[in-house]
Amino acid sequence: MDTFESIRTKLDIREFSSGDVSQEIKLKVLEAARLTGTGLNTQHWRFVVAEDKENIKKLADDSTSGGWVVNCNFAIIILTNPKYDFHMIDAGRVLQNMQLTAWNYGVASGIFTGIKEDKFRKDFEIPPELNVTAIIGFGYPLRKLTGGGKNRLSLRELVFNEKYGNLNTA
């Protein structure tokens, strides 16, 4: 899929069908993560893949804003090291790359960030030096997605010419 088309049509999805995502696609998603750049090339992040239904249920139980993950096919926990000021930028880049790679194969995904910290860390044996920054749930979408209807501000509201406040006329 053309990169812009992929960005245009990708939504954050919270309803998945029961279809299995192949190991090949899962590997592609992880490879996209591995290839993503980090600040100073620190590669401080680590990824925990949850495929087991019991663990996916634990993810849902341990979340405060992602109960929907219970119906995903597999999930990836993104861990980043907060000793690097830019660790959240790194997290944003890698999660978007993983989501777009999945979407290239028709696999939808959604993310959540709210967790019950202590329980989550215990259940997934997260080391103290790493933050649980985001969790992505992947799966085939329950409904056909057309890419229409994104709720976004217009470029006129978002972009300025040369200095903040100058109306963009493009």
Ligand X SMILES: Cc1cc2nc3c(=O)[nH]c(=O)nc-3n(C[C@H](O)[C@H](O)[C@H](O)COP(=O)(O)O)c2cc1C
- The reply to whether 120 sits near ligand X by the rule CB under 6 A is no
- The reply to whether 12 sits near ligand X by the rule CB under 6 A is yes
- The reply to whether 112 sits near ligand X by the rule CB under 6 A is yes
Cα–chain-centroid distance for residue 153? Answer: 21
**Which of 100, 83, 124 lies closest to 31, judged by CA?**
100
- The reply to whether 113 sits near ligand X by the rule CB under 6 A is yes
Residue 148 CB, nearest approach to ligand X (Å)? 11
Q: Report how far residue 151's alpha carbon sits from residue 154's, in angstroms, rounded to the nearest whole number.
A: 10
Residue 127 CB, nearest approach to ligand X (Å)? 23
The region of 32-40, 52-60, 104-112, 120-128 touching ligand X under the rule CB under 6 A is 104-112
- One residue of 111, 126, 130, 136 binding ligand X per CB under 6 A: 111
Half-sphere exposure of 168 (CA within 13 A, CB side): 11
Q: Where are the beta strands (DSSP E) in the chain?
A: 46-50, 74-80, 108-112, 131-139
> Collapsing DSSP states into helix, strand and coil, what is residue 66?
coil
Which C-beta is closer to ligand X: that of 48 or that of 88? 88
**Which of 68, 77, 92 lies closest to 141, judged by CA?**
68
- The reply to whether 70 sits near ligand X by the rule CB under 6 A is no
Which C-beta is closer to ligand X: that of 151 or that of 169? 151
Give the pair of three-digit tokens for residue 83: 């000793």
- The reply to whether 138 sits near ligand X by the rule CB under 6 A is no
Judged by CB under 6 A, the number of residues near ligand X is 12
138 near 85, Cβ under 8 Å?
A: no
Q: By the criterion CB under 6 A, which residues form the site for ligand X?
A: 11-12, 14, 65-66, 110-114, 150-151
